Structure 1
Amino acid sequence: MEQNTWEYANQDCLNRGATLVIINNQEEQKFLITLNINTWIGLSDIETEGTWRWVDGTPLTTAYWGPPQPDNGGGTHGEEDSAEIVNWYNDPVQKWNDVSCTTKLNWICETVSE
Structure 2
Amino acid sequence: MDSYLVVITSAQEDKFIREHLLRKATSDQYWIGANDVLAEGHFRWMSKTPPEDVTYINWYSGEPNNDGGKGNCVVLGTVQGFFWNDIVCTIDAGFICEQN
- The TM tier, using the shorter chain, reads 0.7 to 0.9
> Quick check: 2:8–2:14 contact (8 Å CA) kept in 1?
yes
Regions of 4+ moved over 6 Å: none
Amino acid corresponding to residue 68 of structure 1 in structure 2: G
Q: Secondary structure at the match of 2:86?
A: strand
Q: 1:23-63 deviations in whole A, cap 9, x for unaligned?
A: 01112111111213321000000111111000211101110
Question: Which of 58, 63, 74 is the equivalent residue of 1:69?
Answer: 63
Q: Which residue of 2 aligns with 1:41?
A: 32
Hey, which of these two has a bigger chunk of strand by percent? 2
Say if 2:89 is the partner of 1:98: no
Greater Cα shift, 27-36 or 62-71:
27-36
The 5 A counterparts of 1:1-114 are 16-34=1-19, 35-36=21-22, 37=25, 38-55=29-46, 56=48, 57-73=51-67, 75=68, 78-89=69-80, 95-112=83-100
Which blocks of at least 5 consecutive residues in structure 1 are unaligned? 1-15
How many pairs does the alignment contain? Answer: 91
TM-score normalised by L of structure 2: 0.82
> Quick check: 2:9–2:55 contact (8 Å CA) kept in 1?
no
Instruction: Give, in angstroms, the shift of residue 67 of structure 1.
Output: 1.0
Aligned-partner Cα distance in 1 for 2:80–2:94: 18
> Quick check: 1:80–1:98 contact (8 Å CA) kept in 2?
yes
TM-score normalised by L of structure 1: 0.73
- State the identity as a percent: 32
